Amino acid sequence: MLSRRDFIRLAGAAGLTVRLPGGLSAADPKTQALCEKLKSDPLRPQFHLLPAHNWMNDPNGPIFFNGKYHLFHQYNPGAAVWGDMHWAHATSPDMVFWKNEPVAISPTPEGFDRDGVFSGHAVLDHGTPTVIYTGVMPPANDAEATLRDGKHTWREVQCLATSRDPDLRTWQKLPEPVLAKPPAGLDVTGFRDPCVWPEGDAWMLTLGSGIRGKGGIVLLYTSPDLRRWTYLHPLIEGGASGLKTTNPVDTGDMWECPDFFQLGKKHVLLVSTQGKVLWKVGTYKDQRFSPEKEGVVDWGSYYAAKSTLDQEGNRILWGWIPETRPEAEHSAAGWAGVMGLPRVLTLNENDELQMEVLSAVQKLRTKTRIDTKKPGSATLQTLRIHDLSAELLFDYKPAADASFVLSFVSETGETFATIRCNPTSAGRELQVGNVKAAISADPAKPIQLHLYLDGSVLEVFVNRTTVLTARVYQHVSTPLRIVHEGAEPSDLRVWQIKPISNNRLTSPLCD
């Protein structure tokens, strides 16, 4: 089978006009203008995964198969705004360097996913790659509607597709949904985003949902073959917020994108609601989940998280980093949304969820400046970050006043971003821009601040338990220097990070 890249080259040689996603032509002057705009956009990340152009959101079905990591995600091939959801597809040998593949799954006209191929999960069923995802379509009547968000009224069903393609580029859908409607007697406020895992001789499946007037809920099903599903009971139920909004996700009365897995001796449930991904750690017994600890995965711009196991058995978390600028701006820019860096999940000694960026990302490090004996302001004055692309590691010893301010400033005095650590009555607080997060670590323990800067994306980790992803749209015309005030670090390391492609793109769009 010809790759899209090979097809473009052959077609160009034959004088054919090649049509790309979104109605673009490789030979069209508009395409070339878009390519130049994307290549020269300093806010576009260079070592995070994102499609060649247009809109992306939720990670879907991450899986290791046939020697490659495959990551699918929500994608609008026609514009840099939400809508017309497809499953885009990217592959990688190491979860660092990515290649965008052709779109994997598209809506079927007049099918059960005619209005969108929404989020889902991938598994190997006796070696056969199989995905279960939410398809959306217009309801035949009001009773069929499961999604009402103020803009759309849809019927949500769960669909199944399999692939015999060693590269997972082509998929065959079952003609009918494997779950066509919610359990009888439940007045749901959502019915989407399946998570699937094997348990004994059966398969288990959860769906994100909510019960009108009662709050968020995760529905639990079982099946012998991934096709015939029986509803068991709620895996877990939340409480009603008492708030009135058009979209129940905004109040926490509907839980999206559940992800459920074992981690060490505990089980972890992730749900997305109210603009955040929440984690719950607890015990799974008799096919019910009892949370014992809970928290926030990321206090910033991070949503719809989905996990998988890597080759070594590590639990890897993927999450969508949304835009926080106005729609008109990202539409004009020609791209919207970024995939977060791969995060390795573990539990600390208090059974709190902790995470750190996959160590394989370190291969992107280039230059480093380390001064462990005296890393104070004199050292910082000599450092420069080029192309808004760097990894930074700061260590602070515990002190009565451990507050500090860390700013990225251009050589002409423009402030790009500011990070603060402030003491509070309850301990310490991280602040990036206007977003704040409580630091869960013991105030008597050292602080390690780990940052990844990539264009408009700034991922900040504190002691692996507090994470805040910020979007920064400040244009600067020179390299950045670091201005530091307050408690000085006992150690600092700064690496310039190289891009994963030579033109900010991982697609043949602009070749």
For residues 95 and 316, the answer to whether their CB atoms sit within 8 Å is yes
Encode 101-125 in three state secondary structure.
EEEEECCCCCCCCCCCEEEEEEEEE
- Residues known to be catalytic: 58
Rounded distance between C-alpha atoms, residue 161 and residue 102, angstroms: 17
Encode 165-199 in three state secondary structure.
CCCCCCCEECCCCCECCCCCCCCEEEEEEEEEEEE
**DSSP secondary structure, 432-489, as one string:** ETTEEEEE-S-TTS-EEEEEEEETTEEEEEETTTEEEEEE-----SS-EEEEEEESPP
Could you tell me where the beta strands, DSSP code E, fall in 226-351? Answer: 230-237, 256-263, 266-273, 276-285, 288-296, 303-309, 315-321, 335-336, 338-339, 343-347
At a CB cut-off of 8 Å and minimum separation 6, what does 101 contact?
A: 4, 89, 90, 91, 167, 168, 169
* φ and ψ at residue 246, rounded to 5 degrees: -70, -40
Rounded distance between C-alpha atoms, residue 482 and residue 474, angstroms: 16
For residues 134 and 60, the answer to whether their CB atoms sit within 8 Å is no
Encode 44-70 in three state secondary structure.
CCCCCCCCCCEEEEEEEEEEEECCEEE
